[in-house]
Each structure stands twice: as structure tokens, then as C-alpha cells.
Amino acid sequence: MRVQDQLAYILHQRPFRDSSLILELFTPDYGRLSVVGKGCASSRSKTKSVLRAFQPLVISWSGKGEMPTLVTAEPLISQVKIPALTGDSLLSGFYINELILRLLHKHDVHENVFSLYQNVLQCLTDNRMIEICLRIFEKNLLQFLGFEINLTIDADSGKPVSPTKDYIYYIEHGPVEVSFNNEANNQLKIDGSSLLAFSQEDLADEKVRKQVKSLTRYILAYYLGDKPLKSRELFI
């Protein structure tokens, strides 16, 4: 099997044997997959300088099984030049890559997630937008993978969330208005106004951003399991 000229991003790479690399790729047509770049870690490799994260590549590979062989890799020639990620934007990019590696199964095709990934990389080039970019990416990623966050309906009463009330958020259930019966539960609490703002992707207010960050971290921790994210350690 040979795949020609597939648009791809490198999510992660690691050394393999003496001079090769294992590349974790994200593609629109084949989902997430691993390929072996034979000799790509060698100082004489012409491909080595091309294999950079966060840059769109045109890649070909060949072979059967779980780990085919990289054949060619070239930068995507585009009229729109995407600035390189630096500083906190770069660390945020590593975080996004790790989320995709942890939450997407290999070979599952998610064209909408691929488009979401491209959009958030563009968004992260503006350092003023990092927090907003990340929260919207997290919300939409969960939705596209079937873990949609209920932000607008009280999960117990079925009534619309009120901007003047406080809620406890139950994973895989949704927000429930704080009451005498549930107030003591050790669950995440959030303002109704923040839930509604997040549903509209309106994160201009700092208080809303802070509460929404706690919410997405709480939900993602449930789906990611006990293994901590390495990218968060980089932030620390």
C-alpha cells in the first residue's frame, strides 16, 4: 500500500534505532497514524529539517501494518504564511498535540477535528488569544468526539440554564442547579452566566475564562484518566 501526497501535521516524533524516527502524524483522510522515517535522524538526511511540528506537510508513505515507512515529506507551499509558534503559544501547541494523541484512536478519520486543529494553530499565533483559543478548541474537540458538554440545559429539571443561578457540573450528565440536597457534594461549581457565555464562545470576561478553564480541565481529566499531561508539566 502506498499513499501519495497526503496533507499531514507531525504531532510527535521520537528516535528509533540508530538514525531513524517514529513520527506520529495527523491527516484528514487517514486520521492519526505512525510512520517510520528511516535515516531521518541522520545529520545527512535532507528530510530532517522538514519534519517540524505545527507546519503543514505533504507526506507520502508505503507499507502495510501498523507502522508503514515514510517515503517523502515536503513543506506545503501556500500563499498564506503561518507564523511559527513561540513562547506560550508553542507550549499551547504541544498541549493540543498531546490531547489529540491521547483522545483520538489511531486510523479513526475526523475531518472536522483536523479542520479544528488547523484553525487553532492559526489562532495561537496571536498571543493575546491563547486562553480563548484553547477553551474553544477543548469544547469543540469534545463535541466532535462524542463527549459534548451540556452548557444550556439543567440536566435534572430540563429547564434552561439561568444566568443568575449557580450550578454543579456532573460529567456525562450536565449542570444541575445548586440546592440544599447537592451543595455538599464535591463537584465542580460554575455560574450559569459562565455556562451560557461558553456555549456562545464568548470568553471576553476574565471571570468567565477562569471558570470555564476549571470546567474543561475537570471534564478532560475524566476522559484522559490518571496519566498526567506532559505538556502541562512544561507550563509549570
Which of 39, 55, 75 terminates a domain? The answer is 75
114 Cβ neighbours under 8 A, 6+ residues apart: 26, 27, 28
Q: Residue 230's pLDDT is what?
A: 84
Render pLDDT for 150-162 as a digit per residue (tens, 0 to 9). 999 999 999 999 9
Q: Are residues 222 and 108 in the same domain?
A: yes
**pLDDT, mean of residues 80-100:** 89
Max CA pair span of the chain: 69
CB distance 167 to 176 below 8 Å: yes
The answer to whether 5 and 13 have CB atoms below 8 angstroms apart is no
Provide the H-helix boundaries in the chain: 87-103, 111-123, 130-144, 192-199, 206-224, 230-235
Show which of 75, 94, 128 is a domain's final residue. 75
Domain span including residue 139: 83-236
Structurally, the chain folds into a number of domains equal to: 2
pTM listed for this prediction:
0.92
Average pLDDT rounded to a whole number, residues 39-52: 90
On whether the CB atoms of residues 26 and 101 are closer than 8 A, the answer is no
CA 228 to CA 135: how far, in whole Å?
19
CATH code of 222's domain: 1.20.1440.120
Provide the percentage of residues in the chain whose pLDDT is more than 70: 96
Last residue of a domain, one of 49, 75, 101: 75
Q: Are 131 and 216 in contact (CB under 8 A)?
A: no
